[in-house]
Amino acid sequence: MILVDSSVWISYFRKDGSEKLKELIKTAILHDEVGVNGVIILTTVLPYITLTDILT
């Protein structure tokens, strides 16, 4: 499990964010290896939709 903090999510969603970071996070998400804190879930992910759903 990888705990991804807000600074990583900011970089992940930026157009000019690190492509290497984006690939690492995407791979971790697709393998259900990402953990986030409650604040991230409440502010960035709609209820009943997983991050995997968003990326596929």
Chain segment 17-48, per-residue pLDDT in tens: 999 999 999 999 899 898 876 665 555 555 55
Alpha-carbon span 22 to 46, nearest angstrom: 21
Instruction: For strands 34-35 and 2-3, give the pairing.
Output: parallel
Helix (H), strand (E) at residue 5? none
Alpha-carbon span 45 to 27, nearest angstrom: 18
pLDDT score for 31:
92
Between 8 and 52, name the one with better pLDDT: 8
- pTM of structure: 0.62
